[in-house]
Amino acid sequence: MGERTKYAPGAFSWTDLATTDRDGAKQFYSQLFGWEAVDNPVGDGMVYSMMQIGGEDVAAISTQPDQQREAGVPPLWNSYVTVDSADAAADSAQKLGATVHAPAFDVMDVGRMAVIQDPQGAFFMVWEPKQHIGASLVNAPGALAWNELATPDMDASADFYRELFGWQIEPMEGGGMPYLLIQNGGQSNGGIRPAQDNEPTYWLVYFGSADVGASLGKAGELGGTALVDEMDIGMGKIGVVQDPQGAVFALFAGQFDD
């Protein structure tokens, strides 16, 4: 179990769900992971629901912005990377060929962020923390455990993120398919794999599970759909789920990092 009070620049630190049915999603994930919701009004009738385990922030759920829905973007889990400066990170990303969809802006007094699409098409956020560091609990059942990029060009993606965040990215030896392991300052920080047939380019968020098979069964009972059944990957077991609103996430059970 990993409790956090700060994150190093370049580390994945937060995830939130943009969904078409906030109340329905809250019910689904609360029953699946044992999350408790703290609803925070954020203006214009919007509510940002902080999801907690034992009082520790693990993720958030909010209503999908109208422009995303109108553009046909499905509900999705967003991946946030901590940076020293959201402005500088967005500027660097643009110079490296990314598209900055939302230039750096303040999120009240909790932080500053920007929304970026990498050159291969995956969206991510950069987060400059102020009052909110991100998740205060990770690498535990029900908490953020891994972030994985599916991309049509692994080498180009690796080059982009090395330049942007200073990540160390090396091949994983002995795997059945190509897989790149990401380290940030010597700490595990996710992976990169080839996108499969008709799979979009995106960052897949993994949540910890005590038992992937049981979690997949529970997700099905709650209206979710198993996209990848329980799979043994050596270091643990994984599965992939689509929630009732359409957002995709993954599960991991095994040895968690501290």
If pLDDT is split at 50, 70 and 90, which confidence band does 66 have? confident
pLDDT at position 207, please?
Answer: 98
Give the predicted TM-score (pTM) of the model.
0.96
pLDDT-based confidence at residue 44 (cuts at 50, 70, 90)? confident
Report the chain's mean pLDDT, rounded to a whole number: 95
For each of the domains in the chain, give its residue range(s) and CATH number, in order of start. Answer: 2-129 (3.10.180.10), 138-254 (3.10.180.10)
Average pLDDT of span 150-179: 94
Amino acid at 124: F
pLDDT at 235: 85
Give the pLDDT score at 1: 56
Among 251, 243, 248, 207, smallest CA distance to 25 is for 243
86-95 and 154-165 helices cross at what angle (nearest 10)? 140
Length of the chain: 258
CA distance 51 to 162: 31
Average pLDDT of 35-58?
A: 93
- Quick: pLDDT tens for 127-146: 999 999 999 999 999 999 99
Q: Which residues contact 185 (CB under 8 A, 6 or more apart)?
A: 8, 10, 11
Residue 255's pLDDT is: 86
